[in-house]
Chain A
Amino acid sequence: DAGVIQSPRHEVTEMGQEVTLRCKPISGHDYLFWYRQTMMRGLELLIYFNNNVPIDDSGMPEDRFSAKMPNASFSTLKIQPSEPRDSAVYFCASSPLDEQFFGPGTRLTVL
């Protein structure tokens, strides 16, 4: 199994641009999570899905952030418009119920 796949691994963009981060979970996992890691706040849960349905998006910082899961094998996290304070590492994780398996992360830099 290839594990959780995230793309791109690195993204550099300018303030005001739209950013789309992508995630392919492990096949058969019913849960998908998006996290953000910063020095100040550590690892924060942004949103999670169960069977493609968003369950809890209380961690999404602002309306500029949105996440979708159109099918069991794909999810996106979109930031529009992006701001410098969005610079962070964004992780996607999937889970069959207990242990969460993390992808390698996307390092986002907003200039």
Chain B
Amino acid sequence: AQSVTQLGSHVSVSEGALVLLRCNYSSSVPPYLFWYVQYPNQGLQLLLKYTSAATLVKGINGFEAEFKKSETSFHLTKPSAHMSDAAEYFCAVTYGGATNKLIFGTGTLLAVQP
């Protein structure tokens, strides 16, 4: 069965430090991968997506993620954390087509310390 694993339910970084949020997937077919961010009491906002084009994907707010097939990973990074980055981040996968369901990871809560 397809699944997504997010290592670390809570990650804390200092303002200005590197942000690294981990996501691994299991798949027997090429996946489409996504990162979403959720602020308290709000819906999810799409940060970036991988759909079999370039393996390094740049998203909004300075985030990027690299698809590594050999590691079945799609980790999210940002060179320098900002206080406004504090939120819940979800990795998700779908296996093609606009009608396919998204499978979400359990989420990682990012805290940014001043």
> Are A and B part of the same complex?
no
**Chain B residues packing against A (C-beta within 8 Å):** none
Q: Which residues of A contact B (CB under 8 A)?
A: none
